[in-house]
Structure 1
Amino acid sequence: MFGKLLGYQKLENRILLQFEEKVCYIEIMEETVIRIFASLEEKEQISYGITELSRQQYCNACQQVSVQIEQREQGLVIKTGKLWVEVNDDFKVDIYNNQHEILCRDYRMERESFMQPEAGWQQAAQEGHTIQEKTGKHKIQVIKTMEGEEVFYGLGDKTGFLNKRGYEYEMWNSDIPDPHVDSFRALYKSIPFFITMRNSHFYGIFFDNPHKSVFDMGKESEKYYFFGAEQGNLDYYFMYGNTMADVLKSYMGLTGTHPLPQLWTLGYHQSRWSYETSQEVREIAKSFRENDIPCDCIHLDIDYMDGCRVFTYSPEGFPDMKELIQQLNQEGFQIVTIIDPGVKLEEGYPIYDQGLELDCFVKDKEGTNYTNWVWPGTVVYPDFSDEKVRSWWGENHRYLIELGVSGIWNDMNEPASFHGELPDDIQFSEEGQGADHRRIHNVYGHLMSQATYEAWKKYKKTRPFVITRACYAGTQRYATAWTGDNHSIWAHLQMAVPQLCNLGLSGMAFVGTDVGGFGSDCTPELLCRWVQTGCFSPLFRNHSCKGSRRQEPWAFNQETLDINRKYIKLRYRLLPYFYDLFWEHERNGLPVIRPLVLEFPEDRNTWEMNDQFMVGSHILVAPVVNQGQRMRLVYLPEGIWEDYWTGERHVGGTYIKREAPLEVCPMYIKAGTILPNYPEIAYTGEKKIKQLILEVYEGEGEYYHYQDNGKDFSYQEGVYNQYLFRLSENRKLQLDIIHQGYEEGYTTFLIRWKGREKQICFVQDTQIVLLDEIESEVL
């Protein structure tokens, strides 16, 4: 395709490469990040994953990078302080570290396949078996050599296990309500980024191409892995780091982090398809308070609307919508409403009439507004690839803001359709450049989220809460996400752990599953075990499908109710810890929920740990995900770990047996942890938190705690407090204020240590507590 390398030219941070057939380039983003690009279409296309601000910041940074270029017999060698890039004929690229140890190199041989033609395979298809044909060559195709013990992580919300080696996936946002199984190649999100770990080497690859693409992570052959697409350009970024966290930080530097969310969004959310009347919503809210279960948010699914028309509400079911929301707000409940992209084709319906007048809808190849069928009936689709349309769509959210709605739930935005998928030749604006559905499909939900986020930030002034089902790389800048229409089956609970961990490693820090499962019928035991996992998920929402068994916390029996209450209250105690993790994420890109391998990559036992996870660096959770199980093996990595429930201490680097009756989710705290807690509350904002509880675990460590008003963007102007807590081996706890810009700081701290507690008034910049002198009665 490219031919022999004839010469090169350096233009600032780009090295233009003249091949016989094409001009390509290597772009130096920083010492550890390079871009490999070849234009296979007429223009260098818009990037949806990478913002212009991020690109400019990298361009500014790269000016400080020293780049050496040498022409050698085997090809061109490009050196930064960290990488050694060899470019050969036919645009083959091999990448080494500065010790000239191979990191990643292109495969030189032809592709092969383990799949051989078998006689009679058509008969299997007739019976209903899915027969996957061999993946053919792609117009754009990058084949990388397997060097040995590679393990792969990331790629978004794909099904299956943590390590993606040996599997093949498609990037094509797909609405699939069937139970999700390991063999699924695509789901709702397309995030073409993965992290490779091989022994002590770490790198990531981001294939910035929104078209349908395929990632074969060694399924076709143990000799190589590859990714490819039929349209777009060859455009991928290579990121190297000393740790997996370094690689992820580079990716987040390109695509952005999730802005700090409002505090209430980290509380418990209750949803169902659907709460159909104002009275039903009031009863749900009343039940939470009567049952002493904290809750911050109730979600309204499509039946709150008038005939599923977006930006309306039902005059029959919700005649008092504004009054309802005001009342619930006073009781501590936020209301989040669903919005789908499909606009009902109906003259006289203002949203359709406005969109028609402003020419906001996508068109078929003849230039006619394209129609399909979803919940309202015949619909048209807004063209979110047009800035004018995003602005119009965002403006319509003022209607919901004025009603008092607190957040938006974007659904069906793959885009989903009932009468077949949108045809490839449906036309989009793409900011006036023109594109068809093949290019915009995977970014449609991303652009819808962008429109929503920007409007809420403009009109509401608080940090927007947008939840989306469909995503592309970079969607974390605008939205949180959930894993879509899962089912009330144990397999989906088992899948939740690796799925959420891989989403975190793909840049999506604020994610969750439908607790209890959406489709099918939940059981009391399944809900108990799921709420124990959901308690530690960044997004904590119980949601279920119309026609399925109800699964609110009180829907079963007293035991189920008590267990739900226990873990929802635990979540509220840990809210300051979760908030700290989001503060940390915005700055360094690390996810909230983490696979053990991210924290302990040198420990081979963590590489494929599918049923345990870390919450930040301090809490290890080992949920029970099998029916009837009342004891499980827990792996504790190196270090000292304390059982959260019993206080028993364990030396890590081994498996331990842990009894796990239905009411117990095994969890362990790393020695030396200072864990911030809130006092008991029914919802965030119920009262001013003037006292922070510090649970201290013996050892040595330090902890940074962050505090602001939990609502707006004033923290970006320095209106926040930051504290540093240090625990020394001689059991001295030192408290320091390292930034004070938020007036409503804590007045007291309650120190909890080995079953004893002591309250101190914090009035100094530095204060030291001698833990051994705490002599209160055992709690």
Structure 2
Amino acid sequence: MTMDTGGFFNGNGLGPDGGTGNEDYARWMQFAAFTPIMRVHATNGNQRQPWFYVPQGQRVGETAAVEAIRLRYRLVPYIYSYEHQRRKTGVGIVRPLIFDWPQDQNVRNTIDSWLFGEWLLASPVVEEGQQNKNVYLPDGNWTRWSSGATDQGRQTVSFNTRTWERNFPLFIRAGAIIPMMSDADANPASETYVTSVGGWHPTELNVEVFPDAKLTSFDYYDDDGDSYDYEKGEYFLQTLSVQRSGTQVTFETASPDPVGSFKPQLQYYTVKIHGNVASSVSINGTAINPVANLTSLTGATEGWVAGADPDRGNIPVTYVRIKAGEKQSVVLTTR
């Protein structure tokens, strides 16, 4: 399944000549970011680059379309891991809600919301000028991607869609473990800024974690990205898991899959554990002192700091930096 974004000129778009307009472009890019293959096509002389679709008063880097593209890049570790699962199981990253909630009659005919992997529920805006979108959330606890607001499942919630930027109906499922590009690799001002994922081999990753009372896990996967050697066992696979029990949260990384012989350049995970912040943290049974701030955490071998997540409406989060590729056990005692 692919999404050839913005590919067809039919005279019914929102542009002045009936072609693709700024809103069309932004919403299609948000839609396409949560499909297996995202690529932007054009025909009949239409332009497809984001700098041709900049609303008045904005710069190209501030647009909802560019925001969607950057989010797609940041999710590459998550997406690539699911491609490995698809090869093994035949189940793709885009999944109808009925896959996970077969007894819920409310999702049997849902076509405008879907799971993107196990942990994200996407519900794109597909109507011109839509001010609010009603989204049905299945059973469970859900966190809104940008605001950090929480919703109980088994109900329809109203999502304000008046603005385009940082305002896509995307929900995080309780128990989520989501590996993403590091802040440095995703920052245009950084020396390590990633402009193409072809041949990209991260040395560190962020891992977004939303603990649940039940044990949940995610299999992080990587390979050389260039050859078919993964068919011969040249890959890296490590299971990450988390569980909340009372005031404690346990996050663990298992020993890498012994079958996989690929040695990635990955050295560290910065684990962002959302919920009540930690008062103490131990790594492999040893208590670790907190660092002064998030800047101090960057470049450290290991450590932690409590704070707020600016990408999620400043909800509480504990940042923990640990070595990747090793068996690790992190225990947070929360306030």
Q: TM-score range by the shorter chain?
A: 0.7 to 0.9
Contact 2:120 2:171 in 1 (8 A): yes
1:676 aligns to 2:179 (yes or no): yes
Which residue among 578, 590, 601 is the counterpart of 2:91?
Answer: 590
Cα deviation for residue 578 of structure 1 reads 0.8
Is 1:603 matched up with 2:104?
A: yes
SS in 1 for 2:244: coil
Q: Secondary structure at the match of 1:692?
A: strand
Task: Give 1:28-67 correspondences, 5 Å limit.
Answer: none
Q: Tell whether the 8 Å contact from 1:611 to 1:622 is kept in structure 2 after alignment.
A: yes
Among candidates 724, 727, 730, match of residue 242 of structure 2? 727
Note the 1:547-696 alignment, pairs <5 A: 547=45, 549-558=46-55, 559=58, 561=60, 562-660=63-161, 661-663=163-165, 664-679=167-182, 680=186, 681-685=194-198, 687-696=200-209
Which residue of the partner structure matches residue 512 of structure 1?
A: 2
Residue 519 of structure 1, CA deviation: 2.0
Post-superposition Cα deviations, 1:359-401, rounded to whole Å, max 9, x if no partner, equal xxxxxxxxxxxxxxxxxxxxxxxxxxxxxxxxxxxxxxxxxxx
Deviations 1:88-139 (A, max 9, x none): xxxxxxxxxxxxxxxxxxxxxxxxxxxxxxxxxxxxxxxxxxxxxxxxxxxx
Q: Structure 1 residues 745 and 737 mapped into 2: Cα distance closer, same or farther (>3 Å)?
A: farther
Shift in Å at residue 656 of structure 1?
A: 0.7
Choose the corresponding residue for 1:541, options 35, 39, 43.
Answer: 39
Does residue 767 (structure 1) correspond to residue 328 (structure 2)? The answer is yes
Instruction: Tell me the CA shift for residue 763 of structure 1.
Output: 6.2
Task: Check conservation: 2:222, 2:264, Cα contact below 8 A.
Answer: no
Distance 1:750 1:677 in 2: 10
In structure 2, distance between residues paired with 1:534 and 1:744:
29
In structure 1, C-alpha distance between the alignment counterparts of 2:174 and 2:243, rounded to whole Å: 11
User: 1:146-185 residue pairs with structure 2 within 5 A?
Assistant: none
Partner secondary structure for residue 126 of structure 2? coil
Point out where structure 1 has 5 or more consecutive residues left out of the alignment. Answer: 1-510
Residue 749 (str. 1) matches residue 269 (str. 2): yes
Give 1:752 shift.
Answer: 1.0
Amino acid at match of 2:80: Y
Does the aligned pair in 1 maintain the 2:201–2:266 contact within 8 Å? no
Query: For the structure 1 residues 657 and 763, does the alpha-carbon distance in structure 2 shift closer, same or farther, using more than 3 Å as the test?
Result: closer
Pair 1:717–1:527, CA change in 2 (3 A): same
What residue identity is the alignment partner of 2:106? N
List aligned pairs for 1:203-222, cutoff 5 A: none
Contact 2:119 2:173 in 1 (8 A): yes
Match of 1:714 in 2: 229
2:302 aligned residue: none
RCO higher in 1 or 2 (8 Å CA, sep ≥ 6)?
2
> Structure 1 stretch 685-694 or stretch 571-580: which is displaced more?
685-694
Following superposition, the deviation at residue 687 of structure 1 comes to 5.0
Report if the CA contact (8 A) 1:718-1:741 is conserved: yes
- State the 1:688 CA deviation: 3.1
Q: Unmatched 5+ residue regions in structure 2? A: 11-18, 187-193, 275-308, 310-317
SS in 1 for 2:254: strand
TM-superposition CA deviations, 1:478-523 (whole Å, max 9, x none): xxxxxxxxxxxxxxxxxxxxxxxxxxxxxxxxx2232123223111
- How far has the Cα of 1:685 moved from its partner? 4.3
Q: Distance in 2 between matches of 1:583 and 1:763?
A: 18
TM-score, normalisation: structure 1: 0.33
Q: Aligned ranges for residues 283-682 of structure 1 at < 5 Å? A: 511-520=1-10, 521-547=19-45, 549-558=46-55, 559=58, 561=60, 562-660=63-161, 661-663=163-165, 664-679=167-182, 680=186, 681-682=194-195
For residues 594 and 762 of structure 1, what CA distance do their matches in structure 2 show? 29
Query: Are the aligned partners of 1:721 and 1:737 in contact in 2 as well (CA < 8 Å)?
Result: no
Give the deviation of 1:641 after TM superposition: 1.1
| Distance across 2 between alignment mates of 1:687 and 1:541 | 18
1:529 partner letter: R
Query: Any idea what SS the aligned residue of 1:737 has?
Result: coil
Contact map agreement 2:199 2:225 (CA 8 A) in 1: no
Letter in 1 for 2:169: P
Give the number of the structure whose alpha-carbon radius of gyration is greater: 1
CA distance in 2, matches of 1:659, 1:665: 9
Q: Which whole-Å CA distance do the structure 2 matches of 1:622 and 1:579 have between them? A: 21
Higher helix share goes to which structure?
1
Q: Distance in 1 between matches of 2:211 and 2:319?
A: 14
Q: Is the 8 A contact 2:255 2:325 kept in 1?
A: no
**Secondary structure of the residue that 2:252 maps to in structure 1?**
strand
- Give the secondary structure class of the aligned counterpart of 1:728: strand
2:230 is paired with a residue of what secondary structure?
Answer: helix
Partner SS, residue 253 of structure 2: strand
Higher strand share: 2
Pair 1:543–1:747, CA change in 2 (3 A): same
> Structure 1: how far apart are the matches of 2:53 and 2:219?
41
Shift of 1:662: 1.7
On the 8 A contact 1:622/1:667 being kept in 2, the answer is: yes
Q: Distance in 1 between matches of 2:30 and 2:264?
A: 33
SS of equivalent residue, structure 1 residue 677: strand
Deviation at 1:707, TM superposition (A): 1.3
| Per-residue Cα deviation, 1:238-261 (whole angstroms, up to 9, x for no partner) | xxxxxxxxxxxxxxxxxxxxxxxx
Question: Retained in 2: the 8 A contact 1:724–1:736?
Answer: yes
Deviation of 1:737 (Å): 2.3
Q: Distance between the aligned counterparts of 1:689 and 1:550, measured in 2? A: 32
Q: Which residue identity is paired with 2:23?
A: E
| Change in CA separation of 1:694 and 1:530 when aligned onto 2, cut-off 3 Å | same
Residue equivalent to 1:377: none
Following superposition, the deviation at residue 587 of structure 1 comes to: 0.9
Cα distance in 2 for partners of 1:522, 1:626 equals: 14
Q: For the Cα contact (< 8 Å) 1:528–1:560, is it kept in 2? A: no
CA distance change for structure 1 residues 712 and 686 in 2, over 3 Å: closer, same or farther? closer
CA contact (8 A) 2:201 2:265 kept: no
- Alignment partners' CA distance in 1, 2:202 and 2:235: 14
Give the aligned partner of residue 211 of structure 2: 698
Distance 1:583 1:762, change over 3 A: closer
Question: What letter matches 1:698 in structure 2?
Answer: P
Alignment RMSD, CA only? 1.9
Q: Give the TM-score, by structure 2 length.
A: 0.74
> 1:762–1:611: structure 2 CA closer, same or farther, 3 Å change rule?
closer
Q: Deviations over 1:239-289 (max 9, x none)?
A: xxxxxxxxxxxxxxxxxxxxxxxxxxxxxxxxxxxxxxxxxxxxxxxxxxx
Q: Distance in 1 between matches of 2:59 and 2:69?
A: 12
CA distance in structure 1 between the aligned counterparts of 2:244 and 2:209, rounded to whole angstroms: 12
Q: Deviations over 1:168-192 (max 9, x none)?
A: xxxxxxxxxxxxxxxxxxxxxxxxx
Give SS of 1:569's match.
helix
**8 Å Cα contact 1:524-1:560 kept in structure 2:** no
